[in-house]
Amino acid sequence: MLEKAAARAAFPPLETATEKGLLAIGGDLSAPRLLAAYRHGIFPWYNADQPILWWSPNPRCVLFPERFQPSRSLKKSIRQRRFRFTLDAAFGEVIAACSAPRANAADTWITAEMKRAYTALHRQGIAHSAETWQHNKLVGGLYGVALGGVFFGESMFSRVADSSKVALTLLIAQLRQWDFRLLDCQVSSPHLLSLGAEEIPRCEFIAHLRAALRLPDRVGNWSRLVSP
């Protein structure tokens, strides 16, 4: 059980995680603890009726920006300019949309506590959002945390076909320009695998993570980096 004091941000060794990847219970979502977690390949994931649960699954689901190849249909959507793409233009709206109930899920794991924590990281220029718009309405997007050359994806949502996929595709294109080495997808799903994500052993993920974290942080608001 982790203590709540932010100064005690140490986590158990990753090798002590359960078969499903559960590493620790408790603690808090303070910025020091969250950043310590991400830097060690750990992330929080829990429901509102649970204590904070910290995970480090094996294998790990990742996207390598330089290997990413969007499908023909996605390329077509981008060429047709069906969506307008932005960065950090609506972080609060994106995380609210990601936390909304889904048709295929009874509950959401993005609690009010989580929204406050990641909004605080966004204000510090560490958490970021990517958005797609149609007729000036937000129709898709995702958010996550950027450290060094790693983007830790947290959640995405879509209100129009292809809207979140386009947001991811154009975000990856931008990350490639900035020499990001890794996009952490955390836990595998058929949807992520269909987008080009792959599973790698945790030890391999940690090696990639450590190398990518040596790159400079890109802290700040990213909204001015994409043309409206």
pLDDT tens readout for residues 48-66? 999 999 999 999 999 999 9
The residue assigned the tokens 């996550």 is 144
User: Mean pLDDT across the stretch 35-53?
Assistant: 96
User: Mean pLDDT across the stretch 140-162?
Assistant: 97
Average predicted confidence (pLDDT) for the chain: 92
Specify the pLDDT at position 185: 97
Q: Beta-carbon neighbour count of residue 224 at 10 Å?
A: 10
52, 64 Cβ separation under 8 angstroms = no
Specify the pLDDT at position 4: 66
Question: H or E segment at 78?
Answer: helix 72-79
162, 77 Cβ separation under 8 angstroms = yes
Residue 134 predicted with pLDDT over 80:
yes
**pTM for the model:** 0.93
State the first-to-last Cα distance of the chain, in angstroms, to the nearest integer. 46
Specify the pLDDT at position 107: 55
Please tell me the distance from the alpha carbon of residue 101 to that of residue 220, in angstroms, as a whole number.
30
pLDDT tens readout for residues 68-77? 988 888 888 8
41, 56 Cβ separation under 8 angstroms = yes
Q: Which domains does the chain have, with CATH numbers?
A: 14-57 (3.30.70.3550), 61-225 (3.40.630.70)
Looking at the chain, the whole-number percentage of residues with pLDDT higher than 90 is 80
Specify the pLDDT at position 112: 94
The contacts of residue 201 (CB under 8 Å, 6+ apart) are 58, 59, 60
